[in-house]
Copies of this chain bind each other. A is one copy, B any other.
Amino acid sequence: MASLHPFDPITCAEIQLAVRILESAFPGIKLRYKRIDLQEPSKHEVIPYIEAERRGEKCPRKPARLLMALFHRLDNGSFFKALLNADTKSLVSAKELPKDVQGPVDVDEMIEIEQLYPWIYGTDNPQESRRLFQCYMYIVATDHPQNNQYSLPCKFSPVFDGISRKLVRMDFLPGAADTQSTQTQPWKPVPAVQYAHDLLDEPLRTDLKPYVVQQPEGASFNVIGNAVSWQKWRFRVGFNSREGLVLHNVTYDGRSTFYRLSVSEMTVPYGDPRAPYHRKQAFDVGDVGFGITANQLILGCDCLGHIKYFDGYRSDAQGAPIQLKNVICMHEQDNGLQHKHTNYRSGAATVVRNRQLVIQMICTVANYEYIFAFILDQAANIELEVRATGILSTVPFDNENGQTVPWGTNVGPGVMAPFHQHMFSLRIDPALDGFKNTVYYEDSVPMPQDESNPYLVGYTTEQNVIRSSGSASTSVDRNRVFKIRNDHIMNPITYHPIAYKLQTMPSQMLLARPNSFGTKRAQFATRPIWVTKYQDNELYAAGEFTNQSKRSDGVEVWAARNDAVEDEDVVLWHTFGLTHNPRIEDFPVMPMERVSVMLKPDGFFTKNPALDVPPSTQSFNKSTLHPEPACCAGPQDRGQVKL
């Protein structure tokens, strides 16, 4: 496997190798695998290699190719994390984890409990160390593969032990705004609110005309393995079971920009105060994983145009490699105009369209869908776009007589969708012209009322360099902008260090009280900005093991080291999200809610980097003109319009 790049995702053969190594290390003991994946190389070991690549020089020896595995010994139930060396085909280490650490849910486990609609258990008891699943029960007709069970929730909810598969407890769910549960009653049939086209009462629209994207000469990108080049950008598409899509070693026009970009975590805490809903808080990355929940995409459904798909591999519980076909798609899109100027004297216009490269995955985490796309453009911008769609997580509610709750929305007969938040953490590992960078923020502030500002209209900026690891706030009122710069490289025209800025999405942070488990487990979601000093293995904002965690062990811990981060190998984390108080229009399937953050060059270049994009012309774009009705010579001749 010497031909693999250090950032290439795990292969089929590597999963098989890992299992062989572990079987030799634990002879005669049956193992159950939760994860077998790539262990990314140490940054300091891989930098010489990728720098030689970037410069087109002879590459030095690659760092060791390492794999990681999480598994249970089935003889005694103990839970291990192992590191393996794929080059030497040997075990590096195998460490037993503490008893209260729960690994993520794996696909086989999900299938085994699947009849019961398992939900992440959450936490409300610091003494609990069993692996638990709370099963929310729904009624689903079996006459169609897309019946919407979320429309018909039941009022009982068994809790199972995930290891023994035994019933631990039956929870009865409240039916009213108070927290009392009532005895379960025979189900009064109500029709499900359906989303599938086959199951709708109303006819489909018939007036939508085809819209076809044609790329007769193919795409503008080139792909070799997982390495992509497009419009001065170069990067590697990474994939792992946990984060799914990762971008590695992103360069523009031969210059380093970002070492690694990923969605490091997300959490979805619910605001319904009634037991057992208080435990509803999923960590979709740490508890489950975007890689294993990524949809296997189908040509013509999820993207238009000319599509490149990337596959991945995961292991099943027995260690067999499972191919994940088409889990990442990549395509170009046209996003309107990028720049235009009309010289109003001469009438001459320069028009350049905004061609983008979209690298996308779509994850189904039980009821919800998340669409994550890194979008690169020709002006050296990188956007992370997140679309939330899918189905609301619903609860039973006796709403037939006009009852409402102040923490949710009635979305159908007997069904209510509680308020919740979706909190994302974007991890940005910058490498702007080198691996030592500085994070600072810049506020726009009025100038003082003194002789420097005689007309009182002046304003200027205040810079605050983040010198020690920690956190920071966003501020709309001060138009706070976070920037990453390289103090060693000055822009020859602005006379400021070269930089990128992070266009944040200022968002409401966690609404759970600070002393709740909800907040203790998701400290990353209490502050919009975190800055840490890079260390290997510090990838996940809420820590490595989130399932039934009692507290998080992630970015807030690393930030608290008070490391010097000015002109250092620094990592910037941005928490953003949605406070999602459901609309009834979000049911039975939710029109996407879009959020976006961007990385934009700010003094990284000496002028607009998209100037050399060819002009937008009809001969290239081949648009068509809507025909004018023959009867109409001018507006004054138009007949009365009744539409």
Contact = CB atoms under 8 A, between A and B. Distances in A.
B495 A273 contact: no
A592 B608 CA distance: 11
A195 B608 contact: yes
A60 to B, nearest CB: 13
Given A369-B340, A612-B202, A457 B209 contact: no
A313 B634 CA distance: 11
A400 B373 CA distance: 42
Given A224-B641, A366-B344, A584-B494, A626 B218 contact: yes
B304 A621 contact: yes
Interface string A610-633: 111111111111111110010010
Contacts of A406: 460-461
Interface in A1-37: 1, 3-5, 8-9, 11-14
Given A419-B444, A495-B410, A228 B643 contact: yes
A604 B585 contact: yes
A594 to B, nearest CB: 9
Contact of A208 (B220, B602, B623, B643): B220
Interface in A384-401: 387, 389-391, 399
Contacts of A202: 611-612
A299 B609 CA distance: 26
B205 A613 contact: yes
Given A583-B603, A635-B311, A231 B212 contact: no
A193 interface: yes
A458 B145 contact: no
A124 B593 CA distance: 45
Given A5-B641, A299-B623, A587 B607 contact: yes
Contact of A215 (B3, B444, B624): B624
A145 B348 contact: yes
A226 interface: yes
Interface string A101-118: 000000000100010000
B638 A225 contact: yes
A219 B209 CA distance: 6
Interface in A498-551: 501, 506-509, 511-513, 515-518
Contact of A341 (B232, B389, B399, B614): B389
Interface stretch (A66-74, A166-174, A472-480, A557-565): A472-480
B617 A300 contact: yes
A10 to B, nearest CB: 9
Nearest to A249: B643
Contact of A306 (B278, B348, B379, B626): B626
A641 B379 contact: no
Interface string A475-503: 01111000000000001011110000100
Contacts of A278: 454-455, 457-458
> Do most interface residues of chain A lie in helix, strand or loop, or is the interface mixed?
loop
Contacts of A333: 336
A439 interface: no
B301 A461 contact: no
B412 A493 contact: yes
Interface residues of A, number: 219
A215 B332 CA distance: 18
A75 interface: no
A234 interface: yes
Nearest to A635: B11
Among A350, A390, A494, A507, chain B packs the most CB atoms within 10 A around the CB of A350
A459 B223 contact: no
B622 A351 contact: no
A590 interface: yes
A457 B607 contact: no
B307 A624 contact: yes
A124 B457 CA distance: 11
Contacts of A281: 457
A355 B307 contact: no
A269 interface: yes
A584 B642 contact: no
Given A227-B643, A231-B205, A273-B455, A307 B625 contact: yes
A511 B447 CA distance: 9
A541 B265 CA distance: 43
A141 interface: no
A319 interface: no
A243 interface: no
Contacts of A453: 273, 513
A278 B210 CA distance: 53
A456 B224 contact: no
A321 to B, nearest CB: 11
Nearest to A230: B207
A187 interface: no
Given A205-B612, A460-B406, A641-B226, A493 B303 contact: no
A440 interface: no
Given A341-B391, A455-B275, A612-B204, A305 B623 contact: yes
A205 B614 contact: yes
B341 A364 contact: yes
Q: Which 3 A-B pairs have the closest CB atoms?
A: A300-B618, A273-B458, A145-B346
Given A459-B511, A476-B508, A477-B509, 9 more contacts: A204-B612, A212-B215, A224-B639, A269-B457, A301-B621, A354-B592, A410-B495, A476-B507, A587-B608
9 contacts: A12-B636, A209-B220, A212-B215, A224-B629, A281-B457, A300-B616, A445-B511, A446-B512, A585-B609
